């Protein structure tokens, strides 16, 4: 693949008009010899030593250092990913593989891709590769792959937690406790049961389906909007009703959960106008991507009470700056980007990254569902 990329680059430099698809007709494999692999993870500092299973941080390095180095590969790991003098920048020009995560995203821009002359493979430890310019990666002949499925359970569980936290008004109760207060009314006047409420998911892919399955015993009215209608048997088992039109579904919902990837179609999907058409007092859970929402429109609707609660772990950008309005808006139950990086999730996506690196070294295919960019084409959910 390195040779293919080099050939393609040379053809472009020469003004070749050869069709783009041609150079990708062979499967991905590493050229022989030592590879330089760079991983960008969040740093754990004093937390690193507190749990031996904590592999998702810089210090844990996905638990693959010995394995890589014993095969003669170089493995650089850092959390320093921004600005012209960051550690990542030092390795852009000669790295072969870049491993990133959605939790502490290294933004892989077209400009960085252009400078990464040796780069062949971009692996996302987790799910969601929108921090990578996928079109630029496709044009450059790179392969992009995720550990599909590695943390879908983790995220779905977290979404259900956030639904309950909002519906039942947990946060003001907790804050009373730590402030020495006791005022049941101040919580109860807007605490509800989840039972009987209408919950709609925007997107019912792997995570959305797991969420709906976990919601079933709560006796809600479940709706889903997706590109694809489920098979009737699965739909019946899950107990959710398909909605063909997003804007027909949304105003029916007491609770909206976002389960769609960030693409050019979904960026800013929840703008002022669309939020204005939602039920007054709607609750929104978004563990998908922060940029699916118009940041200020959400903050304004929380302030006005049109949105009665907003919870999620995704922000635009990440890390969220100290003055991000979602930190200060009323009725939020936000956290840093955490839902997919539970210890269980980390162990699964670390194993998945190792498996793909092993395939890469051996010239073998990855599991088909893992590919986000392959042979110049984007996976369907990113098209």
Residue 51 annotated as part of some ligand binding site:
no
**Residues within window 55-94 making contact with a copy of itself, judged by CB under 8 A:** 56-57
Contact flag: residue 180 with a copy of itself (CB under 8 A): yes
CB of 327 to a copy of itself, least distance (A): 5
Is 289 annotated as catalytic? yes
Regarding beta strands 143-146 and 371-374, do their DSSP bridges make them parallel or antiparallel, or are they unpaired? antiparallel
- Measured CA to CA in angstroms, residue 263 lies from 35, 268, 287, 362 at distances of 31, 10, 15, 32
d(C-alpha 330, C-alpha 332), whole Å = 6
**Residues within window 100-129 making contact with a copy of itself, judged by CB under 8 A:** 103-104
**Residues within window 201-230 making contact with a copy of itself, judged by CB under 8 A:** 213-214, 216-218
Contact flag: residue 45 with a copy of itself (CB under 8 A): yes
Interface residue with a copy of itself among 173, 268, 325, 330 (CB under 8 A) is 173
d(C-alpha 88, C-alpha 90), whole Å = 5
Is 151 annotated as catalytic? yes
Select from 126, 133, 163, 132 the least CA-distant residue to 147.
Answer: 126
Q: Which one is catalytic: 120, 318, 331, 346?
A: 318
Residue 265 annotated as part of some ligand binding site:
yes
Residue 255 annotated as part of some ligand binding site:
no
**For residue 307, what are its two tokens?**
């949105």
**For residue 112, what are its two tokens?**
């960085």
Q: Which is nearer to a copy of itself, 174 or 364 (CB)?
A: 174
Q: Which residues pair with 352 in a beta bridge?
A: none
**Residues within window 277-336 making contact with a copy of itself, judged by CB under 8 A:** 313, 318-320, 322, 326-327, 332-336
Q: Which is nearer to a copy of itself, 275 or 334 (CB)?
A: 334
- Sign of the CA dihedral 242, 247, 252, 257? positive
d(C-alpha 29, C-alpha 352), whole Å = 17
Is 318 annotated as catalytic? yes
CB of 59 to a copy of itself, least distance (A): 9
Regarding beta strands 121-124 and 377-378, do their DSSP bridges make them parallel or antiparallel, or are they unpaired? unpaired
Q: Which is nearer to a copy of itself, 8 or 131 (CB)?
A: 131
Interface residue with a copy of itself among 14, 70, 185, 233 (CB under 8 A) is 185
Sheet architecture: strand order including 377-378: 74-78, 36-40, 97-100, 121-124, 143-146, 371-374, 377-378
Is 214 annotated as catalytic? no
Residue 263 annotated as part of some ligand binding site:
yes
Number of other residues whose CB lies within 10 A of the CB of residue 138: 21
Active site residues: 151, 289, 318, 337
Binding residues for NAD(+): 206-207, 226, 261-265, 287, 313, 337-340
Binding residues: 127, 151, 206-207, 226, 261-265, 287, 313, 337-340
């Amino acid at each position: 693949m390195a040779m293919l990329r080099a050939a393609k680059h040379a053809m472009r430099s020469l003004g070749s008009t050869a069709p783009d698809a041609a150079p990708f007709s062979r499967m991905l494999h590493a050229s022989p010899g030592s590879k330089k692999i760079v991983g960008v993870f969040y740093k754990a500092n004093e937390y690193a030593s507190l749990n031996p299973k904590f592999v998702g941080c810089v210090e844990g390095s996905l638990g693959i250092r010995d394995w890589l180095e014993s095969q003669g590969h170089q493995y650089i790991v850092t959390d320093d990913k921004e600005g012209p003098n960051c550690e990542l920048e030092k390795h852009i020009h000669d790295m072969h593989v870049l491993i990133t995560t959605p939790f502490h995203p290294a933004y892989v821009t077209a400009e960085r891709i252009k400078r990464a002359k040796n780069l062949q493979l971009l692996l996302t430890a987790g799910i969601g590769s929108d921090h990578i310019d996928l079109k630029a990666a496709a044009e450059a002949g790179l392969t992009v792959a995720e550990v599909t499925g590695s943390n879908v359970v983790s995220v779905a569980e977290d979404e259900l937690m956030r639904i309950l936290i909002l519906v039942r008004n947990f946060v003001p109760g907790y804050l009373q406790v730590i402030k020495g207060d006791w005022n049941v009314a101040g919580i109860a006047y807007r605490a509800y049961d989840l039972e009987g409420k209408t919950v709609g998911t925007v997107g019912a892919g792997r995570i959305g389906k797991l969420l709906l399955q976990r919601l079933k015993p709560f006796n809600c009215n479940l709706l889903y909007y997706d590109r694809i209608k489920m098979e009737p048997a699965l739909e019946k088992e899950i107990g959710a009703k398909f909605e063909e039109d997003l804007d027909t579904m949304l105003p029916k919902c007491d609770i909206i959960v976002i389960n769609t990837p960030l693409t050019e179609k979904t960026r800013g999907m929840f703008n002022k106008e669309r939020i204005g058409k939602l039920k007054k007092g709607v609750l929104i859970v978004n563990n998908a991507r922060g940029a699916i929402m118009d940041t200020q429109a959400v903050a304004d609707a929380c302030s006005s009470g049109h949105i009665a609660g907003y919870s999620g772990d995704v922000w635009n950008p990440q890390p969220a700056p100290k003055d991000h309005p979602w930190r200060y808006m009323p009725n939020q139950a936000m956290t840093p980007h955490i839902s997919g990086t539970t210890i269980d999730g980390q162990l699964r996506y670390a194993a998945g990254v190792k498996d793909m690196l092993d395939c890469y070294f051996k010239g073998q295919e990855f599991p088909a569902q893992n590919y986000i960019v392959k042979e110049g084409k984007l996976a369907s959910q990113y098209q």
